[in-house]
Amino acid sequence: MKSAEYILNKIKEVPDVAVILGSGLSRLADEVEEPLKIPYTEIPGFLKSTAPGHAGELIYGFVKDKKVLLMSGRFHTYEGYAPSDVAYPIKVMKKIGIDKLIVTNASGGIRTSYKPGDLVFIKDIINFSFRNPLRGPNDDSEGPRFPDMSQAFSREWIEKANKVVEEKFGSPLESGTYISVLGPSYETPSEIKMFRKLGADMVGMSTVHEVIVANHIGIKVLGISCITNMAAGVLDQPLSHKEVMEVGKMVSERFVSLVKAIIEETC
């Protein structure tokens, strides 16, 4: 795979963990020590990230003594990309030798006890995009034709991470189920009512295709969602991407501290 070869030639060593940074959560990239930045446009086979707030570059460096590879900007199906292309970087990570992945995202709060700025561990997903990145011929060398998704996010990792969070920040994070929609339009109040009945706690337009492929090829996943706004109909106000970015910036210091602690103690 040319993408993996190109990246390995740049970074030289296999990272301990990869992190995908969601909308408004890119500040972690500024905290990496000895950063090496690789624009997506330089990497063979990589797509272009067009979503606002997504820098479109890989960043390799250190968090204390841990080697990390950050995706500052992800791909989405609403940009016109196929689910398999959206999740292509996950396969590249596996080829590089990475076996742990932290996915982060910005989401709308469906559970009414949430408030903007809350950080939540993702315990499960609902793929409401009705698209699967594994559709088509299966490569048995990568993973099984019918991969198990009963533990899409590592319960063991969530438990370890929450112990770290409680020790360092005083209280553990809540866990919730993330439902992903195709986008790019925000959801209607009626759709949010339906999602709540389906068991969803937060909603967004990313993550699920990356997580499906990670499970297929044997990468352990931890998910963290930042509630950047309340979902449609929860509050009597319109939704905007500007609000998503502003809340992401507001919570960025806590988010960075939390993710760095998890990387240092559990990776």
Catalytic residue among 1, 31, 78, 174: 78
54 is catalytic: yes
Catalytic residue among 162, 241, 246, 264: 241
How many angstroms separate the CA atoms of 221 and 206, rounded? 15
Does the annotation mark 71 as catalytic?
no
Of 49, 72, 76, 230, catalytic: 76
- Is 205 a catalytic site residue? yes
Which residue is listed with tokens 């624009």? 39
Catalytic residue among 4, 18, 23, 180: 23
Tokens read off for 41: 């446009």
200 is catalytic: no
Catalytic choice (54, 152, 178, 180): 54
Residue 85 to residue 90: CA distance in whole angstroms: 10
- Catalytic: 229? yes
Set 18, 205, 214, 231: catalytic member: 205
Active-site entry in 29, 106, 232, 261 = 106
Residue 209: active-site member: no
CB atoms < 10 A from the CB of 32, how many? Answer: 20
185 is catalytic: no
Is 78 one of the catalytic residues?
yes
| Cα 264 from Cα 267, distance rounded (Å) | 6
Alpha carbons within 13 A on the beta-carbon side of 169: 19
Catalytic site includes residue 76: yes
Q: Give yes or no: 132 in active site.
A: no
> What is the Cα–Cα distance from 6 to 95, expressed in whole angstroms?
11
Q: Which residues are catalytic?
A: 23, 54, 76, 78-79, 106, 205-206, 229, 241
